[in-house]
Structure 1
Amino acid sequence: MLANRKILLCVSGGIAVYKAVALVSKLSQAGATVKVIMTASARQFVQPLSFQVMSRNDVYYDTFDEKDSSVIAHIDLADWADLILVAPATANVIGKLANGIGDDMLTTTLLAATAPIWVAPAMNVHMYDHPAVKRNIQQLHDDGIRFIEPSEGFLACGYVGKGRLEEPEKITALVADYFARPKLLAGRKVVVTAGPTRERIDPVRFLTNFSSGKMGYAMAEAAAEMGAETVLISGPVTLPVPKGVQRIFVESAEDMLNAVNAEYETADVVIKTAAVADYRPIDVHSQKMKKQAGGSTLELERTTDILQHLGKTKTHQLLIGFAAETNDVGHYAKDKLERKNADYIIANDVSEAQAGFESDTNRVTVYGKGGFEQSFEMMPKLELARRLLGLIMEKEDLHDR
């Protein structure tokens, strides 16, 4: 399953270190080449020799112990890996990584890494629930690091709850699934729009919406994972650029229209997740508008409907739109599919808890031509993006377009 894959396992100190030894065994049995970095605390629980025997590679733990004088070890390891696992990840290591601290072999290597990093936490249930730990985990999420959630059960401290390192078999299966994911979009160009737009009223005010861009960024990341040349046209958000994605920042609906038009002719797939403003002020004031007694009227005009414009002008492109609704979701999605000449509309009820703007999860239904309809239950947006693209690409033959 993992032949020729290079996995760097970063082991920090906790009783779950014994599971990391089993994880090296499972990964090696699956065909991976595994190298291990240990913290000083990890070596209090398990000796490096155990990892050396299971991996058949040197174990690293001292930044200044250069085993090969022709390279700098922590840079060489960071460049070598196809995937980096931090397992078990203590609250201490999570905090260091979230704040850019590199004070040992493990953390300096992580700071130098360009490969995907997966973090598998293991700690006391109350530590895992501490506000500081939650903040650090959220920061790493925002930085594009993936987490393997701890499981619930009996902990070494005597508590029962969430905090157990996920089982080595499960982690190995997740890694194998990651590398086995088919490159359904290899050689194709995918353009994704994401986030809100801003329509200026004056130098300090604008019209916008609650879109966080998370679903669009997830779609771009999934497309890149599937081998696509991916262009992400993004409104004003603070999300990190997914690995392998070219991002173009825009502000207004007009900016987004122009950016999409510039990429449209060479695109194979266009995914419109952006929440584009439907209206903009007719007059944009060059100076800040001052408060006046009584009410005030702001006159608006329609912006160009980008999805409808693309539907009218498409030649070979596969056009996928999103519909954020608060009622009659299916009715509005099917109407949008026909009216805007899209190939698929992915619709969700943004009034539903954990499925609306700014949430990390989503629940959607895909509508396609010929009465096609398929629903997806609530799940993290990146996982949903992978499933959506997998479904659509398996149904579509881009060579026929």
Structure 2
Amino acid sequence: MLSGKKILVGVTGSIAAYKSAYLVRELIKLGAEVKVVMTHSACDFISPLTLSTLSKNPVAIDFVKDEEKGIWENHVDLGLWADLFIIAPVSANSLSKLVSGNADNFLIATYLSAKCPVWIAPAMDLDMFKHFSTSDNLKTIAANGVSVIEPTSGELASGLEGKGRMEEPEVIAQLIHEFFMEDSVLKGKNVLITGGPTYEAIDPVRFIGNHSSGKTGILLADECAARGAKVTLVTGPTNFKVKDPNIEVIQIKAATEMMDVVEKIWSQMDIGIFSAAVADYRPKNQAEEKIKKSSDEMTIELVKNPDILLWAGNNKKNQYLVGFALETENETENGFKKLAKKNLDLLVLNSLKDKGAGFGGETNKVSFLSTDNKIKSFELKDKSHVAADIVDEIENNLIDNSTDKL
């Protein structure tokens, strides 16, 4: 959801500094790359080691990293690195320094070097927040383009009840997510996603299927919806549920049922992501009653299922189509053949030879094959991050295609 976004989190001296750990964790969960800068007084409330561990990056505190070796922390580079700088919590003291430009610590110097949007989440006691100097500083900083996340009301550290509590980390993370999604390429696009296995009935009890869990399709649907797309998910049997209530889910079992749905709605779609593991064959005749054991051997005559992805590729009109391939040999060669044969814009390729990849697990390792014969390979990742990478690639390609037509 925030894959590829660089978020700089500033932490100042406030009892609410503990919330910064939860904020960093939420941003990491959304796929952002996070770095943290702290004031010295913030270290009295939360350990830099905690934030370094959660962010997976060193925490910047001082201008000098190693005095003996003459290594200094570059606040200019850090300020230019970020796509967004969120200072949470910001104390009354730090707020005053932000407004006046009093760069007596590393965090303020980084703020003065930042070229990205800057947000602040004030946290202080009731009387401090209501004081005219704080009010004036908040008005001044907001007038100069800094976004202020208003504190909430509740019980404060002093024991008073009122406004001054830093907004909850989950809310701040969601606001950041919504900020970056405002310009999403997928906003308003109609996206068709197929997912899960298909079950091809032998009789009312037995079926031919595969080990696909359907998780990738669910994650892709959630990711696209989070970026503003209107998603229709056509999925075979799965135990996973979509998170976004606005995703339309159409449950099917057999390949012929999935084909019927795709034929009806494909022309209404802007993008198709066909991640379903569709069975290649189905029993020619389905028994109406459970087949009884009567001999040591049984023969089932199979017929070929419709090739849903091929049909979509042949009936593509100004639409972007993504297919998936799971190979066990000659992976790249077979992948490029499938890309061309099925008229795809992008093929997501993975191999059962890669440990941690394939059906059923929490991780996957994929490569992207594109029509310009380029290959982009990724390391082993959690499937949610794989889904984000796939949607990022779609967005980037749509931007490139749009630019080419200008």
Do these two structures clear the TM 0.5 threshold for a shared fold by scoring above it? Answer: yes
Is structure 2 residue 345 aligned with structure 1 residue 281? no
Any conservation in 2 of the 1:195–1:235 contact (CA below 8 Å)?
yes
5+ residue gaps, structure 1: 1-15, 58-82, 86-116, 118-171
Matches within 5 A, 1:329-368: 329-368=331-370
Matches within 5 A, 1:16-55: 19-20=18-19, 25=89, 28=121, 31-35=148-152, 49=160, 52-55=163-166
Judged with a 3 Å threshold, the aligned counterparts in structure 2 of structure 1 residues 36 and 276 are, in CA distance, closer, same or farther, namely farther
What letter corresponds to residue 243 of structure 2 in structure 1?
P
- CA deviations 1:59-92 (Å, max 9, x no partner) are xxxxxxxxxxxxxxxxxxxxxxxx873xxxxxxx
| Alignment RMSD | 3.0
Judged with a 3 Å threshold, the aligned counterparts in structure 2 of structure 1 residues 17 and 186 are, in CA distance, closer, same or farther, namely closer
5+ residue gaps, structure 2: 1-14, 24-87, 91-119, 123-146
Identity %: 31
SS of equivalent to 2:89 = helix
Give the equivalent residue in structure 1 for 2:314. Answer: 312
Shift of 1:379: 1.7
Any conservation in 2 of the 1:21–1:54 contact (CA below 8 Å)?
no
TM-score (norm 2): 0.60
Q: CA–CA distance in 2 between the matches of 1:253 and 1:264?
A: 16
Give the equivalent residue in structure 1 for 2:176. Answer: 176
Shift of 1:35: 3.8
Give the equivalent residue in structure 1 for 2:200. Answer: 199
Q: CA–CA distance in 1 between the matches of 2:178 and 2:358?
A: 27
Give the equivalent residue in structure 2 for 1:376. Answer: 378
Give the equivalent residue in structure 1 for 2:240. Answer: 239
What letter corresponds to residue 53 of structure 1 in structure 2?
G
Any conservation in 1 of the 2:365–2:380 contact (CA below 8 Å)?
yes
Any conservation in 2 of the 1:277–1:303 contact (CA below 8 Å)?
yes
Give the equivalent residue in structure 2 for 1:218. Answer: 219
Any conservation in 2 of the 1:235–1:250 contact (CA below 8 Å)?
yes
Shift of 1:54: 4.0
Q: CA–CA distance in 2 between the matches of 1:384 and 1:36?
A: 39
Shift of 1:203: 0.6
SS of equivalent to 2:223 = helix
What letter corresponds to residue 189 of structure 1 in structure 2?
N
- CA deviations 1:287-328 (Å, max 9, x no partner) are 000012221111100001111111111112111001112232
Matches within 5 A, 1:182-193: 182-193=183-194
Any conservation in 2 of the 1:233–1:250 contact (CA below 8 Å)?
yes
Matches within 5 A, 1:135-150: none
Judged with a 3 Å threshold, the aligned counterparts in structure 2 of structure 1 residues 209 and 51 are, in CA distance, closer, same or farther, namely farther
What letter corresponds to residue 285 of structure 1 in structure 2?
A
Judged with a 3 Å threshold, the aligned counterparts in structure 2 of structure 1 residues 17 and 349 are, in CA distance, closer, same or farther, namely farther
Give the equivalent residue in structure 1 for 2:266. Answer: 264
Q: CA–CA distance in 2 between the matches of 1:372 and 1:51?
A: 58
Q: CA–CA distance in 2 between the matches of 1:34 and 1:258?
A: 52
Any conservation in 2 of the 1:21–1:50 contact (CA below 8 Å)?
no
Give the equivalent residue in structure 2 for 1:74. Answer: none
Q: CA–CA distance in 1 between the matches of 2:297 and 2:159?
A: 73
What letter corresponds to residue 218 of structure 2 in structure 1?
Y
Any conservation in 1 of the 2:199–2:207 contact (CA below 8 Å)?
yes
Judged with a 3 Å threshold, the aligned counterparts in structure 2 of structure 1 residues 37 and 285 are, in CA distance, closer, same or farther, namely farther
Shift of 1:242: 2.8
Is structure 2 residue 255 aligned with structure 1 residue 253? yes
Q: CA–CA distance in 1 between the matches of 2:383 and 2:178?
A: 16
CA radius of gyration, larger in: 2
- CA deviations 1:78-134 (Å, max 9, x no partner) are xxxxx873xxxxxxxxxxxxxxxxxxxxxxxxxxxxxxx9xxxxxxxxxxxxxxxxx
Q: CA–CA distance in 1 between the matches of 2:381 and 2:278?
A: 24
Give the equivalent residue in structure 2 for 1:62. Answer: none
Any conservation in 2 of the 1:329–1:349 contact (CA below 8 Å)?
yes
SS of equivalent to 1:25 = strand
